[in-house]
Structure 1
Amino acid sequence: MTSLDYDRHCAEIADQLGQLRVTLAGADLSATVPTCPEWSLGYLARHVGGAVRWAEQLVATRATDDIPEEKVPGIRGPEGDDPAALDAWLAETAELALKTLPAVSADTPVWTWAEPRNAGFWARRMTHEVAIHRADAAIAAGVPYEVAADVAADAIDEWLEIVQYVQRSQPGDSAAELRGAGRSIHLHATDAPAGLNAEWVIEFGEDGFSWRRGHEKATVALRGPLTEVLLAFYRRRSLDGGAVEVLGERELLEFWLERASFG
């Protein structure tokens, strides 16, 4: 399920990369990224650009299996630490994505590591890959971060779907512990524009968890502006930073945040 269509995801990849370039302009690329402490800003930029180039190659070749990194042209970016060269590489990456992804349909069969097995998966995944790492870059650079409300809501949907997929397909992952009937989490955006349902209910069951959009009383609620709810739910902002409010059994929300995994 996604609230954004394929064309929008394709356009967002390029737009998010453009905004990332603005965030990086003039920043110290050797600075540590607090939310990814093993990374520098320069490494983050290469990681993001490389991920988009990998996805672009999967779609361009209609891959039926994973493509090793060493077979993806330009995946590592330019040699050296020249900010202008890195910026140009990111711009070229956006152009590649805009050329390749809109040239196929969302349901074009392509290898993926999760469901659905099509180009639509990669358009959506790369939209949020760039959007969330752009937040990491903004935090490291000390600049404001904004994301469109419908993109933020779709990112929360996708994250829930990924964690649910990991729980179902990888029983050894910490996501498998997200179960136990009678407990629930409510995410509540306080500034959603008219017409956008930006509330979620996550219910724990004996066999895992389920979720849906909606407003219901829960064991614990995470409440605040949509962007801040997104960042807290992605573990990019502290629950104690003042931007969000936790109502109810905080321990359950922390239990989720510690175990919700990318696999």
Structure 2
Amino acid sequence: MSDQPIDHLTEFERVAAEFAAALERVDPEAAVPACPGWTVADLALHLGSGQRWAASILLSGTAQRVPEVLRTTISWADWYAGTSAALAAALRAVDPDEPCWNFAPVDQRAGFWARRRLHETAVHLVDLLQAEVTTGDRPGARPDVVRPAVAADGVDEVFEVFLPRMLARGFAPAVTRQIGVRAVDTGDEWTLTPVSQGIAPRVEHAKAVGEAVLSGTAADLGLCLWKRLPPTVLTVTGDRAAATDFLAGRATP
């Protein structure tokens, strides 16, 4: 990863503000292409509820239930902006190194949540903007809304947090053969090596080797891992079948 640390809170606030601004423009009843069966209102409800959930975890330090939120009577943009402001306040109220529950097989520290909610919000901002352009004159257009360094950090989060998370939830391993991943715009590289059944793959940084190597911008890599873009946007060298199997697997929820 880049030597420059990412300020996850600052980036979260920027992306959250863009999401709230887009909610002002997009019809709440518009369909969200990446989330079949969901409207923009459903997307806002999901993300805003998650911001409240993360804030309650941060302030208590313990696991909490996701709140059951009624559909808001104020504007979706105002309601969502309030939930994000509450999360930002909670993040400022708790030291990143303070012990705090999270759902992942990583250190149980409060700093986890700034990173997690940044990337959750970024993925859903793409969902929202895709809903906007699909209802306009450019169906299928892909917005570029995440800085390359932040997108690369999101790829790293998938490999550190979600590959083991999906295995723990009982899904078949996404990594069954050695795979290399290269972000062409940031220079970040990863090698994923399967270990044994039920064990998360070994993740090595600073090199991309394997039976197949996937290359693309950090944003395209991340959106492919979250199934928001087709694998065809990436360049594959080596065994295409190995690459196809990996990208078809459940690396993320």
Q: Does 2:224 correspond to 1:232? A: yes
The correspondence of residues 125-164 of structure 1 with structure 2, limited to 5 A, is 125-142=116-133, 144-164=143-163
2:202 alignment counterpart: 210
Which residue of 179, 184, 196 corresponds with 1:190?
Answer: 184
- Deviation (angstroms), 1:138: 1.7
2:65 equivalent in structure 1: 67
Flag structure 1 segments of 5+ consecutive residues without an equivalent. none
The Cα shift of 1:67 comes to 2.8
Task: Report the structure, 1 or 2, having the larger strand content.
Answer: 1
Structure-2 change in CA distance of 1:113 and 1:262 (3 Å): same
Which residue identity lines up with residue 72 of structure 2 in the other structure? P
**Taking structure 1 as reference, are residues 91 and 227 closer, same or farther at Cα in structure 2, changes over 3 Å only?**
same
Deviations 1:154-190 (A, max 9, x none): 11111111233226634x3223x633xxx32222222
Cα displacement string for residues 84-131 of structure 1 (whole angstroms, at most 9, x for unaligned residues)? x11111221222122111121112222221232221121111111101
Aligned residues of 1:222 and 1:245 also touching (Cα < 8 A):
yes
Count of residue pairs the alignment pairs up: 242
**1:235-261 alpha-carbon deviations (Å, 9 max, x no partner):** 110022xx3222222222222233334
Consecutive unaligned residues of structure 2, counting only runs of 5 or more, are 134-140
The alignment's C-alpha RMSD in Å is 2.5
Contact 2:171/2:250, CA 8 A, preserved across alignment:
no
| TM-score, length-scaled by structure 1 | 0.81
Q: Which residue of 2 aligns with 1:37?
A: 36
Contact 2:13–2:88, Cα closer than 8 Å, also in 1: yes
The structure-2 alpha-carbon separation of the partners of 1:3 and 1:15, relative to structure 1 and needing over 3 Å to count, comes to farther
Match of 2:138 in 1: none
CA displacement, residues 48-101 of structure 1 (integer Å, 9 cap, x when unaligned) = 1110111001112232x333524xxxx44513xx6xx11111221222122111
Partner Cα distance (1:256, 1:3) in 2: 28
Name the TM-score, length of structure 2 as normaliser: 0.84
3-state SS of the aligned residue for 1:205?
Answer: coil
Q: After TM superposition, give the deviation of residue 3 of structure 1 in Å.
A: 7.5
| Residue pair 1:3, 1:154 contacting (<8 A) in 2 also | no
State the partner residue of 1:222: 214
- Alignment partners' CA distance in 2, 1:220 and 1:17: 35
Match of 1:178 in 2: 175
1:202-247 per-position Cα deviation (integer Å, ceiling 9, x unaligned): 122335421122234321122222211221222110022xx32222
1:191 and 1:118 map into 2 onto residues whose CA distance is: 30
Quote the Cα distance in structure 2 between the aligned partners of 1:4 and 1:76: 41
Moved over 6 A (4+): 1-4
Identical positions, percent = 27
Paired AA for residue 112 in structure 2: F
Q: Which moved more, 1:205-214 or 1:120-129?
A: 205-214
**2:108 paired with 1:117:** yes
